[in-house]
Amino acid sequence: MEYRKLGKSDLEISVVTFGAWAAGGWMWGGTDRKEAVEAIQAAYDLGVTSIDTAPVYGQGNSEEIVGEAIRNLPRDKVQILTKYGMRWDIAKGNLGFKSKDDQGNNIDIYKYAAKDSIIKECEDSLRRLNTDYIDLYQIHWPDVTTPIEETMETVGQLIKQGKVRCAGVCNYNAEQLKEAQKYIELVSNQVPYSMVKRDIEKEVVPYCIENNISILAYSPLERGVLTGKMKPGHKFAEGDHRAELQYFTDENIKRVNAFLDNIRPLAIEKNSALSQLVIRWTVDQPGITIALVGARNAEQSAQNAKSVNLQLSREEINFITEELCKLKIKKG
Protein backbone atom coordinates (compact mmCIF):
# COMPACT_ATOMS: atom_id res chain seq x y z
CA MET A 1 0.00 0.00 0.00
CA GLU A 2 1.06 3.58 -0.60
CA TYR A 3 0.45 6.38 1.91
CA ARG A 4 0.29 10.13 1.37
CA LYS A 5 0.20 13.05 3.80
CA LEU A 6 -2.74 15.41 3.87
CA GLY A 7 -1.83 19.02 3.27
CA LYS A 8 0.78 20.37 5.69
CA SER A 9 -0.26 17.96 8.45
CA ASP A 10 1.46 14.84 9.72
CA LEU A 11 -1.69 12.80 9.00
CA GLU A 12 -0.82 10.05 6.53
CA ILE A 13 -3.60 8.04 4.91
CA SER A 14 -3.73 5.13 2.50
CA VAL A 15 -3.89 6.02 -1.19
CA VAL A 16 -6.89 3.72 -1.44
CA THR A 17 -9.19 4.69 1.43
CA PHE A 18 -12.24 2.63 2.34
CA GLY A 19 -15.40 4.60 1.53
CA ALA A 20 -18.13 3.46 3.93
CA TRP A 21 -21.19 5.07 2.36
CA ALA A 22 -22.43 1.87 0.72
CA ALA A 23 -21.50 -0.08 3.86
CA GLY A 24 -24.13 1.95 5.70
CA GLY A 25 -26.79 0.78 3.24
CA TRP A 26 -28.60 4.11 2.95
CA MET A 27 -29.38 4.92 -0.71
CA TRP A 28 -27.69 1.67 -1.74
CA GLY A 29 -30.60 -0.72 -1.23
CA GLY A 30 -29.58 -1.85 2.25
CA THR A 31 -26.51 -3.58 3.63
CA ASP A 32 -25.31 -6.80 5.23
CA ARG A 33 -23.65 -5.66 8.46
CA LYS A 34 -21.44 -8.75 8.79
CA GLU A 35 -20.19 -8.45 5.22
CA ALA A 36 -19.57 -4.71 5.65
CA VAL A 37 -17.44 -5.33 8.76
CA GLU A 38 -15.51 -8.08 6.96
CA ALA A 39 -14.94 -5.78 3.98
CA ILE A 40 -13.32 -3.13 6.18
CA GLN A 41 -11.17 -5.69 7.97
CA ALA A 42 -10.09 -7.34 4.71
CA ALA A 43 -9.01 -3.96 3.38
CA TYR A 44 -7.05 -3.25 6.57
CA ASP A 45 -5.19 -6.55 6.21
CA LEU A 46 -3.97 -5.28 2.82
CA GLY A 47 -2.84 -1.90 4.16
CA VAL A 48 -6.00 0.17 3.79
CA THR A 49 -5.71 1.86 7.16
CA SER A 50 -8.00 4.81 6.38
CA ILE A 51 -11.80 4.71 6.50
CA ASP A 52 -14.15 7.49 5.41
CA THR A 53 -17.65 7.55 6.84
CA ALA A 54 -20.37 10.02 7.90
CA PRO A 55 -23.25 10.16 10.38
CA VAL A 56 -25.85 10.50 7.62
CA TYR A 57 -24.75 7.24 5.96
CA GLY A 58 -27.51 5.04 7.27
CA GLN A 59 -28.37 7.62 9.94
CA GLY A 60 -25.56 6.43 12.18
CA ASN A 61 -25.35 2.89 10.82
CA SER A 62 -22.13 3.36 8.83
CA GLU A 63 -20.24 4.89 11.76
CA GLU A 64 -21.38 2.05 14.03
CA ILE A 65 -20.19 -0.50 11.48
CA VAL A 66 -16.80 1.23 11.27
CA GLY A 67 -16.59 1.26 15.06
CA GLU A 68 -17.29 -2.45 15.17
CA ALA A 69 -14.81 -3.24 12.41
CA ILE A 70 -11.90 -1.45 14.10
CA ARG A 71 -12.73 -2.45 17.68
CA ASN A 72 -9.81 -4.88 17.96
CA LEU A 73 -7.38 -2.95 15.77
CA PRO A 74 -4.65 -0.68 17.19
CA ARG A 75 -6.24 2.79 17.17
CA ASP A 76 -3.01 4.57 16.23
CA LYS A 77 -2.77 2.41 13.09
CA VAL A 78 -6.20 3.41 11.80
CA GLN A 79 -7.24 6.79 10.42
CA ILE A 80 -10.91 7.65 10.85
CA LEU A 81 -12.33 10.24 8.47
CA THR A 82 -15.85 11.34 9.25
CA LYS A 83 -18.10 14.33 8.65
CA TYR A 84 -20.62 16.74 10.10
CA GLY A 85 -23.22 19.15 8.80
CA MET A 86 -25.93 16.78 7.51
CA ARG A 87 -28.79 16.42 10.00
CA TRP A 88 -31.86 14.23 9.67
CA ASP A 89 -33.03 14.58 13.26
CA ILE A 90 -33.75 18.33 13.35
CA ALA A 91 -35.47 20.75 10.97
CA LYS A 92 -32.77 23.43 10.85
CA GLY A 93 -30.47 24.90 8.26
CA ASN A 94 -30.86 24.41 4.55
CA LEU A 95 -33.05 21.55 3.34
CA GLY A 96 -30.65 19.50 1.24
CA PHE A 97 -32.95 16.81 -0.07
CA LYS A 98 -35.70 14.38 0.80
CA SER A 99 -34.91 10.72 1.19
CA LYS A 100 -35.98 7.50 2.88
CA ASP A 101 -34.34 5.64 5.72
CA ASP A 102 -33.58 1.89 5.67
CA GLN A 103 -37.13 1.14 6.81
CA GLY A 104 -38.62 3.12 3.93
CA ASN A 105 -39.71 6.06 6.07
CA ASN A 106 -39.55 9.53 4.55
CA ILE A 107 -36.80 11.73 5.99
CA ASP A 108 -35.60 15.26 5.31
CA ILE A 109 -31.84 15.83 5.22
CA TYR A 110 -30.70 19.31 6.31
CA LYS A 111 -27.34 20.97 5.68
CA TYR A 112 -26.59 22.54 9.04
CA ALA A 113 -23.15 23.38 10.44
CA ALA A 114 -23.72 25.81 13.28
CA LYS A 115 -21.59 25.62 16.43
CA ASP A 116 -24.08 23.81 18.66
CA SER A 117 -24.81 21.23 15.98
CA ILE A 118 -21.15 20.49 15.25
CA ILE A 119 -20.38 19.95 18.94
CA LYS A 120 -23.30 17.53 19.28
CA GLU A 121 -22.44 15.70 16.06
CA CYS A 122 -18.84 15.25 17.15
CA GLU A 123 -19.88 13.67 20.46
CA ASP A 124 -22.36 11.39 18.68
CA SER A 125 -19.74 10.30 16.15
CA LEU A 126 -17.16 9.57 18.86
CA ARG A 127 -19.71 7.38 20.63
CA ARG A 128 -20.76 5.47 17.50
CA LEU A 129 -17.15 5.01 16.38
CA ASN A 130 -16.14 3.95 19.90
CA THR A 131 -13.12 6.26 19.89
CA ASP A 132 -11.97 9.41 21.68
CA TYR A 133 -10.70 11.29 18.63
CA ILE A 134 -11.34 11.74 14.92
CA ASP A 135 -8.37 11.96 12.57
CA LEU A 136 -10.04 14.09 9.89
CA TYR A 137 -13.26 16.00 10.51
CA GLN A 138 -14.96 17.31 7.37
CA ILE A 139 -18.02 19.45 6.70
CA HIS A 140 -20.15 17.24 4.48
CA TRP A 141 -21.67 19.94 2.25
CA PRO A 142 -21.51 23.75 2.29
CA ASP A 143 -24.16 25.25 4.57
CA VAL A 144 -25.43 28.59 3.27
CA THR A 145 -27.31 29.28 6.52
CA THR A 146 -24.19 29.37 8.72
CA PRO A 147 -21.15 31.63 8.25
CA ILE A 148 -18.05 29.64 7.29
CA GLU A 149 -16.25 31.53 10.07
CA GLU A 150 -18.51 30.03 12.76
CA THR A 151 -18.19 26.54 11.33
CA MET A 152 -14.42 26.52 11.02
CA GLU A 153 -13.77 28.20 14.37
CA THR A 154 -15.88 25.51 16.05
CA VAL A 155 -13.80 22.76 14.46
CA GLY A 156 -10.71 24.65 15.58
CA GLN A 157 -11.97 24.39 19.16
CA LEU A 158 -12.45 20.64 18.76
CA ILE A 159 -8.86 20.37 17.56
CA LYS A 160 -7.63 22.27 20.63
CA GLN A 161 -9.65 19.89 22.82
CA GLY A 162 -7.97 16.87 21.22
CA LYS A 163 -11.22 15.46 19.82
CA VAL A 164 -10.15 16.14 16.23
CA ARG A 165 -6.68 15.99 14.65
CA CYS A 166 -7.20 17.78 11.34
CA ALA A 167 -9.86 19.81 9.54
CA GLY A 168 -11.13 19.13 6.05
CA VAL A 169 -14.08 20.05 3.87
CA CYS A 170 -16.20 18.30 1.27
CA ASN A 171 -17.71 19.63 -1.92
CA TYR A 172 -16.18 23.10 -1.52
CA ASN A 173 -15.40 25.28 -4.52
CA ALA A 174 -12.31 27.48 -4.71
CA GLU A 175 -14.07 30.53 -3.29
CA GLN A 176 -15.35 28.61 -0.28
CA LEU A 177 -11.91 27.09 0.32
CA LYS A 178 -10.36 30.55 0.32
CA GLU A 179 -12.89 31.79 2.88
CA ALA A 180 -12.46 28.77 5.17
CA GLN A 181 -8.68 29.13 5.13
CA LYS A 182 -9.02 32.49 6.90
CA TYR A 183 -10.10 30.69 10.06
CA ILE A 184 -8.46 27.27 10.06
CA GLU A 185 -5.74 25.25 8.38
CA LEU A 186 -7.47 23.00 5.89
CA VAL A 187 -5.66 19.81 4.92
CA SER A 188 -8.14 18.41 2.41
CA ASN A 189 -11.16 18.83 0.17
CA GLN A 190 -13.24 15.75 -0.58
CA VAL A 191 -14.91 16.08 -3.97
CA PRO A 192 -16.43 13.83 -6.63
CA TYR A 193 -13.93 12.86 -9.29
CA SER A 194 -13.85 10.06 -11.82
CA MET A 195 -12.94 9.38 -15.42
CA VAL A 196 -16.41 10.54 -16.44
CA LYS A 197 -16.70 13.44 -13.99
CA ARG A 198 -13.67 15.73 -14.18
CA ASP A 199 -15.09 19.23 -13.78
CA ILE A 200 -12.94 19.92 -10.67
CA GLU A 201 -9.90 20.06 -12.95
CA LYS A 202 -10.88 23.60 -14.02
CA GLU A 203 -10.69 25.50 -10.72
CA VAL A 204 -10.63 23.25 -7.65
CA VAL A 205 -7.57 21.18 -8.59
CA PRO A 206 -5.36 24.19 -9.46
CA TYR A 207 -6.41 25.99 -6.26
CA CYS A 208 -5.72 22.96 -4.08
CA ILE A 209 -2.31 22.35 -5.68
CA GLU A 210 -1.33 26.00 -5.20
CA ASN A 211 -2.46 26.01 -1.55
CA ASN A 212 -1.24 22.54 -0.57
CA ILE A 213 -4.72 21.16 0.07
CA SER A 214 -5.06 17.47 -0.59
CA ILE A 215 -7.90 16.21 -2.76
CA LEU A 216 -9.82 13.15 -1.64
CA ALA A 217 -11.59 11.85 -4.73
CA TYR A 218 -14.89 10.15 -3.99
CA SER A 219 -16.80 7.90 -6.38
CA PRO A 220 -13.73 7.23 -8.57
CA LEU A 221 -15.55 4.22 -10.05
CA GLU A 222 -18.62 6.45 -10.55
CA ARG A 223 -20.68 4.26 -8.24
CA GLY A 224 -19.81 1.11 -10.16
CA VAL A 225 -20.32 2.05 -13.79
CA LEU A 226 -16.55 2.14 -14.38
CA THR A 227 -16.03 -1.43 -13.17
CA GLY A 228 -17.16 -2.86 -16.49
CA LYS A 229 -19.64 -5.11 -14.68
CA MET A 230 -22.73 -3.05 -15.50
CA LYS A 231 -24.78 -4.08 -18.51
CA PRO A 232 -27.70 -2.30 -20.22
CA GLY A 233 -30.97 -3.25 -18.57
CA HIS A 234 -29.41 -3.58 -15.11
CA LYS A 235 -32.04 -3.65 -12.36
CA PHE A 236 -31.18 -1.92 -9.11
CA ALA A 237 -32.49 -2.95 -5.72
CA GLU A 238 -35.30 -0.86 -4.26
CA GLY A 239 -33.87 2.25 -2.61
CA ASP A 240 -30.69 2.26 -4.70
CA HIS A 241 -30.14 5.88 -5.76
CA ARG A 242 -28.20 4.92 -8.88
CA ALA A 243 -31.40 4.08 -10.72
CA GLU A 244 -32.02 7.84 -11.08
CA LEU A 245 -28.51 8.89 -12.18
CA GLN A 246 -27.63 9.75 -15.77
CA TYR A 247 -24.56 7.48 -15.80
CA PHE A 248 -26.77 4.40 -15.48
CA THR A 249 -29.02 4.84 -18.49
CA ASP A 250 -28.67 2.00 -21.00
CA GLU A 251 -27.12 4.40 -23.53
CA ASN A 252 -24.43 5.65 -21.16
CA ILE A 253 -23.63 2.19 -19.86
CA LYS A 254 -23.06 1.16 -23.49
CA ARG A 255 -20.78 4.15 -24.10
CA VAL A 256 -18.76 3.59 -20.92
CA ASN A 257 -18.38 -0.11 -21.65
CA ALA A 258 -17.13 0.68 -25.17
CA PHE A 259 -14.44 2.89 -23.62
CA LEU A 260 -13.56 0.21 -21.09
CA ASP A 261 -13.25 -2.34 -23.91
CA ASN A 262 -10.66 -0.06 -25.53
CA ILE A 263 -8.46 -0.04 -22.42
CA ARG A 264 -9.14 -3.67 -21.48
CA PRO A 265 -6.03 -4.96 -23.33
CA LEU A 266 -3.88 -2.81 -21.02
CA ALA A 267 -5.63 -4.26 -17.97
CA ILE A 268 -5.00 -7.77 -19.30
CA GLU A 269 -1.37 -6.91 -19.95
CA LYS A 270 -1.07 -5.66 -16.37
CA ASN A 271 -2.90 -8.73 -15.06
CA SER A 272 -5.39 -6.43 -13.37
CA ALA A 273 -9.13 -5.86 -13.23
CA LEU A 274 -10.56 -2.87 -15.11
CA SER A 275 -11.58 -1.30 -11.80
CA GLN A 276 -7.98 -1.48 -10.59
CA LEU A 277 -6.77 0.25 -13.74
CA VAL A 278 -9.38 2.99 -13.22
CA ILE A 279 -8.39 3.53 -9.57
CA ARG A 280 -4.68 3.65 -10.39
CA TRP A 281 -5.26 6.18 -13.19
CA THR A 282 -7.30 8.30 -10.78
CA VAL A 283 -4.66 8.56 -8.04
CA ASP A 284 -2.01 9.30 -10.68
CA GLN A 285 -3.82 12.46 -11.82
CA PRO A 286 -2.39 15.89 -10.85
CA GLY A 287 -3.62 17.07 -7.46
CA ILE A 288 -5.43 13.84 -6.55
CA THR A 289 -4.09 12.56 -3.24
CA ILE A 290 -6.23 9.52 -2.56
CA ALA A 291 -9.27 7.66 -3.91
CA LEU A 292 -12.20 6.78 -1.68
CA VAL A 293 -13.50 3.44 -2.86
CA GLY A 294 -16.49 1.62 -1.45
CA ALA A 295 -17.01 -2.13 -1.15
CA ARG A 296 -19.91 -4.33 -0.07
CA ASN A 297 -17.85 -7.42 0.78
CA ALA A 298 -14.31 -8.64 1.48
CA GLU A 299 -13.67 -9.72 -2.11
CA GLN A 300 -14.45 -6.27 -3.49
CA SER A 301 -12.41 -4.46 -0.85
CA ALA A 302 -9.39 -6.71 -1.42
CA GLN A 303 -9.53 -6.07 -5.15
CA ASN A 304 -9.72 -2.31 -4.55
CA ALA A 305 -6.77 -2.39 -2.15
CA LYS A 306 -4.58 -4.21 -4.65
CA SER A 307 -5.04 -1.38 -7.17
CA VAL A 308 -1.95 0.32 -5.75
CA ASN A 309 0.21 -2.62 -6.82
CA LEU A 310 -0.44 -1.60 -10.41
CA GLN A 311 2.07 0.85 -11.90
CA LEU A 312 1.37 2.93 -14.99
CA SER A 313 3.95 4.67 -17.14
CA ARG A 314 3.37 8.20 -18.40
CA GLU A 315 2.70 6.75 -21.86
CA GLU A 316 0.08 4.36 -20.47
CA ILE A 317 -1.63 7.13 -18.51
CA ASN A 318 -1.71 9.27 -21.64
CA PHE A 319 -3.15 6.37 -23.66
CA ILE A 320 -6.00 5.94 -21.19
CA THR A 321 -6.67 9.69 -21.13
CA GLU A 322 -6.74 9.87 -24.93
CA GLU A 323 -9.26 7.03 -25.10
CA LEU A 324 -11.26 8.76 -22.41
CA CYS A 325 -11.46 11.94 -24.46
CA LYS A 326 -13.44 9.99 -27.06
CA LEU A 327 -16.10 9.05 -24.51
CA LYS A 328 -19.14 11.31 -24.52
CA ILE A 329 -21.67 10.87 -21.72
CA LYS A 330 -25.21 11.66 -22.80
CA LYS A 331 -26.65 14.30 -20.47
CA GLY A 332 -30.18 14.38 -19.17
Say if residue 245's pLDDT is above 90.
no
CB contact burial 40-77 (16+ within 10 A = b; e otherwise)? bbbbbebbbbbbbbbbbbbbbbbbbbbbbbbeeeeeee
Tell me if residue 57 is catalytic: yes
Least confident of 62-71, 100-109, 213-222: 100-109
User: So what's the pLDDT on residue 329?
Assistant: 77
As a whole number, mean pLDDT of residues 244-269 equals 86
Confidence band of 277 (pLDDT split at 50, 70, 90): very high
User: So what's the pLDDT on residue 26?
Assistant: 47
Model confidence over 168-205: pLDDT tens digits? Answer: 999 999 999 999 999 999 999 999 999 999 999 999 99
Model confidence over 72-117: pLDDT tens digits? Answer: 999 999 999 999 999 988 888 888 877 776 667 788 889 999 999 9
User: So what's the pLDDT on residue 286?
Assistant: 97
Q: Phi and psi for 98 in degrees, rounded to 5?
A: -100, 145
Catalytic residue among 57, 84, 183, 207: 57
Least confident of 4-8, 180-184, 218-222, 262-266: 218-222
User: So what's the pLDDT on residue 234?
Assistant: 65
User: So what's the pLDDT on residue 6?
Assistant: 98
Residue 330 counted as domain residue = no
Angle at 330 between CA 289 and CA 296, to 5 degrees: 50
Residue 331 counted as domain residue = no
Please give the residue range of the domain that contains residue 257: 3-325
- CATH code, domain with 312: 3.20.20.100
Angle at 25 between CA 192 and CA 114, to 5 degrees: 60
User: So what's the pLDDT on residue 225?
Assistant: 86
Residue 134 counted as domain residue = yes
Based on the structure, what is the number of domains in the chain? Answer: 1
Name the residue with higher pLDDT: 325 or 178: 178
Residue 332 counted as domain residue = no
What is the C-alpha separation between 283 and 286, in angstroms, rounded? 8
**Residue 8 burial (C-beta neighbours within 10 Å; 0-12, 13-18, 19+):** middle
User: So what's the pLDDT on residue 294?
Assistant: 86
Model confidence over 116-134: pLDDT tens digits? Answer: 999 999 999 999 999 999 9
